[in-house]
Structure 1
Amino acid sequence: MSTPRETILATLHARLASLPATALRGDVLPERVPSAGLLILRDGEPGEPEVTLSPLRYHYQHRAEIEAVVQGADRDATFDTLCASIGAALASDHTLDGLCDWVEAEAPRPVDLAVEGAAGLKAAVIPVVLHYSLADPLG
């Protein structure tokens, strides 16, 4: 049985997997980037929770990260489309089916990376803040 935190991350990964880009979780960057782009979800840090008593609850602002990577001659437009699709997927349900109080992405900071003997890459880390509460900090 999965913990609530794992369920939230798995649901976020499933939401990313519904996009045209290939979505991985915790993997290394493969040698080839698919034409629609590549997304790698990193579990990130739950951070230090705020604690309330009666009932005891741990309130997290968990910072996960999505690495977005595109390659090819039209990488600027592909990257823009990919980022917009991530935003739309998160905006369609800011609670991840009621698992979170709120989910929000922060703006990416794209960089262009040269690749010897191949088309360059455009990549960015997109922080995603997951607001949720748990009864147990190990949950």
Structure 2
Amino acid sequence: MTTPRETILTALHARLSVLPATALRGEVLPERVPSDGLLILRDGEPGEPEVTLSPLTYHYQHRAEIEAVVQGTDRDAVFDTLTASFGAAIAADRTLGGICDWVEAEAPRPVDLPVEGAASLKAAIIPVVLHYSTADPLG
């Protein structure tokens, strides 16, 4: 039996997988960044839930993270296209097909990272807040 948390993270990864960039989950940054960019979903932190008692329900604001990485001479344009397409994919269905109460991405803070002997990387972490409720914090 899959937990609501895992179901939601799997659905978020599936949403990333339809974008032109390569989408991974919980992987190490590969040595080569694909030309269309790379998105890595990190499961993040569910945080402390708010609790209601009748019926017992745990309400989470889970903070997952998307690492967005691009490389090449036109990295600014590719990064902009990549983050905009991710934002549009989230905005198209903020409940991930009804399994999540609300999904909202926060603005990225991009940085340029030099790479010895290659084009520099442009990367950012995009926090994604997943609002959901469950009857059991472990299930």
TM category, shorter? over 0.9
Once residues 67 and 34 of structure 1 are traced to their aligned partners in structure 2, the CA distance between those partners, rounded to angstroms, is 14
Once residues 85 and 2 of structure 1 are traced to their aligned partners in structure 2, the CA distance between those partners, rounded to angstroms, is 28
Deviation, structure 1 residue 37:
0.1
Once residues 127 and 85 of structure 1 are traced to their aligned partners in structure 2, the CA distance between those partners, rounded to angstroms, is 15
1:87 corresponds to: 87
Structure 2 unmatched runs, 5+: none
Deviation, structure 1 residue 3:
1.1
Q: Deviations over 1:40-75 (max 9, x none)?
A: 000000000000011110000000000000000000
2:65 partner SS: strand
Q: Are residue 78 (structure 1) and residue 78 (structure 2) matched?
A: yes
2:114 corresponds to: 114
Once residues 43 and 82 of structure 1 are traced to their aligned partners in structure 2, the CA distance between those partners, rounded to angstroms, is 20
Q: Are residue 123 (structure 1) and residue 123 (structure 2) matched?
A: yes
1:134 corresponds to: 134
2:49 corresponds to: 49
Deviation, structure 1 residue 81:
0.2
**Aligned residue type for 1:64:** A
Once residues 64 and 53 of structure 1 are traced to their aligned partners in structure 2, the CA distance between those partners, rounded to angstroms, is 26
Deviation, structure 1 residue 2:
1.3
1:60 partner SS: strand
Structure 1 unmatched runs, 5+: none
1:29 corresponds to: 29
Once residues 132 and 77 of structure 2 are traced to their aligned partners in structure 1, the CA distance between those partners, rounded to angstroms, is 34
**Aligned residue type for 1:108:** P
- Percent identity reads 85
Deviation, structure 1 residue 103:
0.3
Deviation, structure 1 residue 18:
0.5
1:44 partner SS: strand
Deviation, structure 1 residue 129:
0.0
Once residues 43 and 127 of structure 1 are traced to their aligned partners in structure 2, the CA distance between those partners, rounded to angstroms, is 11
2:10 corresponds to: 10
Q: CA RMSD in A?
A: 0.5
Deviation, structure 1 residue 4:
1.1
Scaled by the length of structure 2, the TM-score of the pair is 0.99
